[in-house]
Amino acid sequence: MTQTITVIRGDGIGPEIMDATLHVLDTMQLGLAYEEADAGLVALEKHDELLPQATLDSITRNRIALKSPLTTPVGEGFSSINVELRKRFDLYANVRPAKSFPNTKSRFPTGVDLVTVRENTEGAYIGEGQSITEDGETATLVQKITRKGSDRIVRYAFDLAVRTGRRKVTVVHKANILKTTSGLFLKVAREVAAQYPQIECNEMIVDNTCMQLVMRPEQFDVIVTTNLFGDIISDLCAGLVGGLGLAPGANIGKDAAIFEAVHGTAPDIAGQGKANPCALLLGAAQMLDHLGKPEYATRLRDAIVATLEAKDSLTPDLGGSGNTMSFAKAIASRI
Ligand code: NAI
């Protein structure tokens, strides 16, 4: 059966890495059909809107989107198109795997294989209740955490652990100081954890987590945390394993899911064929897992690892002299 997905080519290096990713997906003959939709600068130029209704309708219809990075121009109405998409579709789980890959010149070429599950819809990060006094001396922000929001994200993390054969979930918090907000998150996390006796659960304060990640990342398996902590921790994890060119992310809700690369539009290398397509390809692998095609997701990840091991046609960020499409073709040839 054909599965239609919404494809957003995006800005900057977006179209290049999307072409490369679709080339690899096509090699696998998955029965995917692509419905293209505009967002970001391209949409602004064509439709005079950053996030056209037709794009929202396409995601609503198909429930699955593969998205390249988007430019959010400064002062154009809302703070970020990505944040807007998360809000519109209630994409409450932000899932970011970080795994050691060969030949990436990272600090941890082996030993890291963890997933950060970040709450995506509440907490300090969404900027609720921001105000500043007239004299500019005092700034305020409301940080709201709910039982519902905490329950569904912690449950998502435990279900992910069960589904993917992972053994441990680390609940990251700051409940010793933020007793109400982080305290509620931790309380709910303990209640949910008790319902998954087969999965080991430990708790860690966020500052210690950062140090532990840098010193002994191999102790982590699944991390679940609130929005702002998750934002920071998942970038730290991407840094451990070789940077943004290898970091994918999924934004998952009940009615829709959007898969993407963590990096931005890289305007400094756009149009030069230098962009590493792996982050979006790994995002596509997350999409295949979500679509119930884990065997294809594994084939795709294995082909990426084999290409990195062979140092075949790697892009300049990985020290190679290949380009975006030659790298993708080298991956496709190993699928
Ligand atoms: P960036 O991630 O675009 O670039 C940071 C550095 O990493 C640059 O030197 C770039 O060349 C390099 N880089 C990024 N992706 C790469 C890849 N695939 N291969 C090789 N090198 C790569 O971050 P920056 O410069 O802060 O943001 C640029 C624009 O991207 C901004 O307009 C920002 O709003 C947007 N952005 C969009 C995101 C999204 O749509 N998910 C996420 C982050 C930023």
Residue-range domains of the chain with CATH = 1-101+242-335 (3.40.718.10), 122-240 (3.40.50.2300)
Structure tokens at 298: 């594994």
pLDDT band at 79 (very low <50, low <70, confident <90, very high): low
Task: State yes or no: pLDDT of 75 exceeds 80.
Answer: no
Q: Which residues partner with 133 through β-bridges?
A: none
Angle between helices 324-332 and 14-27 (to 10 degrees): 20
Task: State yes or no: pLDDT of 191 exceeds 70.
Answer: yes
What is the C-alpha to C-alpha distance for residues 237 and 246, in angstroms, rounded to an integer? 11
268 CA closest ligand 1 atom index: 11
Q: What is the pLDDT of residues 237-278, one digit of tens each?
A: 999 998 788 999 999 999 999 999 999 999 999 999 999 999
* 72 in contact with ligand 1, CB cutoff 6 A: yes
Lookup result for tokens 């490369």:
20
Contact 100, 113 (CB under 8 A): yes
pLDDT band at 287 (very low <50, low <70, confident <90, very high): very high
17 CA closest ligand 1 atom index: 18
Catalytic (active site) residue 174: yes
Task: State yes or no: pLDDT of 221 exceeds 70.
Answer: yes
Task: State yes or no: pLDDT of 195 exceeds 80.
Answer: yes
Q: In the prediction, which pLDDT does 106 show?
A: 87
307-330: average pLDDT: 96
Pick the closest to residue 140 from 148, 130, 151, 149 (CA basis).
130
Query: Looking at per-residue confidence, does 73 or 90 come out higher?
Result: 90
What is the C-alpha to C-alpha distance for residues 222 and 168, in angstroms, rounded to an integer? 6
Q: What is the pLDDT of residues 106-156, one digit of tens each?
A: 888 899 999 999 999 999 888 788 899 999 999 999 999 999 999 999 999
What is the C-alpha to C-alpha distance for residues 328 and 16, in angstroms, rounded to an integer? 11
pLDDT band at 78 (very low <50, low <70, confident <90, very high): low
Pick the closest to residue 246 from 120, 112, 153, 125 (CA basis).
112
> Which residue has its alpha carbon closest to ligand 1 atom 12?
266
Cα angle value 279/281/283 (rounded, 5°): 70
Q: In the prediction, which pLDDT does 80 show?
A: 81
Catalytic residue among 26, 57, 207, 255: 207
For residues 275-306, one letter each, b for 16 or more C-beta atoms within 10 angstroms of the residue's C-beta and e for the rest, the string is bbbbbbbbbbbbbbbbbebeebbebbbebbbb
pLDDT band at 105 (very low <50, low <70, confident <90, very high): confident
Catalytic residue among 11, 38, 231, 289: 231
Instruction: Indicate left, alpha or beta for 5 from its phi (over 0: left) and psi (-120 to 50: alpha).
Output: beta
Catalytic (active site) residue 148: no
* 104 in contact with ligand 1, CB cutoff 6 A: no
Lookup result for tokens 């105000």:
131
